[in-house]
Amino acid sequence: MKFQSIITIDRHFIEQEKRFPYATGEFTKILYNLSLAAKIVTRDVRKAGLVDILGITSESNSSGEVQKKLDMYANDVFVSVMNHDGIVCALASEENDGLIELDESSWGGRYVVVFDPLDGSSNIDANVSIGTIFSIYKRVSPAGKASELRDVLQPGYKQIGAGYVIYGSSTMFVYTTGNGVHGFTYDPSCGEFLLSHPNMKTPARGSLYSINEGNWVSFSDGIKSYISWLKETDKPTGRPYSSRYIGSLVADFHRNLLYGGIYIYPGTEKAPQGKLRLLYECNPLAMIIEQAGGKATNGTRRILDLVPKELHERSPLFIGSPENVDKAMEFLNQSPA
């Protein structure tokens, strides 16, 4: 029997680091720490129904949403793995109002990590896939003192790494450092993430669309006519397309990345910036989709070019296969929101 070569995530990180002859290994250590946190969260997501870790707490996050205990637990795990070796100078999480306080040992750190520790948390109790999303930037303020807000409020094109973890039927860790997108599946029997999806590319066009159609009445005319177009019958363009919407961004994104299609969370009259957060959700996934050959826009501009003004800023998101995103933009341009 012939064995395929087995590539662990650590080996892959080290191979990627070799592209940079002056690398100190610190960036690689961040990736290693993120994968360690993903293993710890996997362990606890898997037994979430068995221990007293589920259930709604009375606390709300900065956006006023009710947090689940597992969100806060995952948040603590990611903060604690990031905040101990002085490599990271600034940490920001969707679950914290401001920058996470780090002690003086972080002042010399050269990197910034922002993350959504457990996205899709409304799905936890129903055993539906949830995820973690992260991105990494280089510090812009001078080292040797506490980091500043500007270290975190950088446009997405400045990301030097981004990824997500999906806690699904198996756990996968998908990441990019600007050299393609690589996916690893967790093998619990040996406690390792193993390379299962090297150099992931999204199809140029796909027949899936993902949007919360329950919000139909508040969609712009452009979006309504695009969605209606997707439902028409037309053999040459493969219509009608299939609607798939889990309500867990990581899971919806991951499926569309593999099969091709478009995910949309638009702005509405009531919420012109939509629901998703630019820093924690849109930017990392935008870097990944571009590395996989896809596109991400807010309806008028490339997501990665947007300059965030605040930590919890939201943005409309159209993301997926390039031809699907282009087509959606044609409709939007005809009847702008």
Report the nearest approach of ligand AHM to the CB of residue 212 (Å). 3
Measured distance CA(199)–CA(16) in Å, rounded = 12
3-state secondary structure of 113: strand
N-terminal to C-terminal alpha carbon distance within the chain? 58
Question: Vertex 170, ends 277 and 39: CA angle to 5°?
Answer: 70
- The three-class DSSP label of residue 194 is strand
- Nearest residue to Mg ion by CB is 119
d(CA 283, CA 317): 10
Q: Report the residue number, 123 or 159, with the smaller CB distance to ligand AHM.
A: 123
Q: Does residue number 264 form part of the binding site for ligand AHM (CB under 6 A)?
A: no
Q: Is 151 in the site for ligand AHM (CB under 6 A)?
A: no
Near ligand AHM by CB under 6 A, which window of 81-89, 103-111, 114-122, 223-231? 114-122
Quote the least distance from Cβ 75 to ligand AHM, whole Å. Answer: 12
Cβ burial of 169 (10 Å; 0-12, 13-18, 19+) is exposed
Vertex 273: Cα angle to 279 and 246 (nearest 5) = 75
What does the per-residue mask of binding to ligand AHM show for 206-245, with x meaning CB under 6 A? Answer: ------x---------------------------------
**Single-letter amino acid, residue 23:** A
- Virtual torsion, Cα 75, 76, 79, 84, nearest 10 deg: -170
Based on the shown chain and the rule CB under 6 A, indicate whether residue 275 belongs to the binding site for ligand AHM. Answer: yes
Kindly tell me which residue out of 17, 116, 151, 290 binds ligand AHM, with binding defined by CB under 6 A.
Answer: 116
Nearest approach in angstroms of CB 61 to ligand AHM is 7
Measured distance CA(170)–CA(55) in Å, rounded: 23
Q: What is each CA distance from 96 to 65, 108, 302, in whole angstroms?
A: 12, 23, 27
Region near Mg ion per CB under 5 A, out of 29-37, 115-123, 228-236, 252-260: 115-123
Beta pairing partners, 130: 167
Residue 268 binding ligand AHM, by CB under 6 A: no
330 in contact with ligand AHM (CB under 6 A): no
- Residue 105 interaction partner, one of ligand AHM, Mg ion, none, beta carbon < 5-8 Å per kind: none
Residue 240: cis peptide before it, omega within 30 degrees of 0: yes
Closest distance to ligand AHM from the beta carbon of 272 (Å): 15
Among Mg ion, ligand AHM, none, the one that 12 touches (CB under a kind-dependent 5 to 8 A) is none
275 contacts which partner out of ligand AHM, Mg ion, none, CB within 5 to 8 A by kind?
ligand AHM
Q: Which does 25 bind (CB under 5 to 8 A by kind): Mg ion, ligand AHM, none?
A: none
Does 116 help bind Mg ion (rule: CB under 5 A)? yes
Q: Which is nearer to ligand AHM, 60 or 334 (CB)?
A: 60
Locate 303 and state its tokens: 């997501």
Determine phi and psi for 235, rounding to 5 degrees: -55, -50
Q: Report the distance separating Cα 143 and Cα 106, nearest Å.
A: 9
Residue 95 binding ligand AHM, by CB under 6 A: no
Task: Provide the CA 309 distance to its chain's centre, in angstroms.
Answer: 19
The binder of Mg ion chosen from 95, 119, 151, 192 (CB under 5 A): 119
Minimum Å gap between C-beta 208 and ligand AHM is: 14
Number of residues that make up the chain: 337
- Residue 241 or 280 having the CB closest to Mg ion: 280
Does residue 65 belong to the site contacting ligand AHM (CB under 6 A)? yes
Give the DSSP H/E element, type plus range, for residue 83: none
> Residue numbers of the site for ligand AHM (CB under 6 A)?
65, 94, 116, 119-121, 212, 247-249, 252, 275
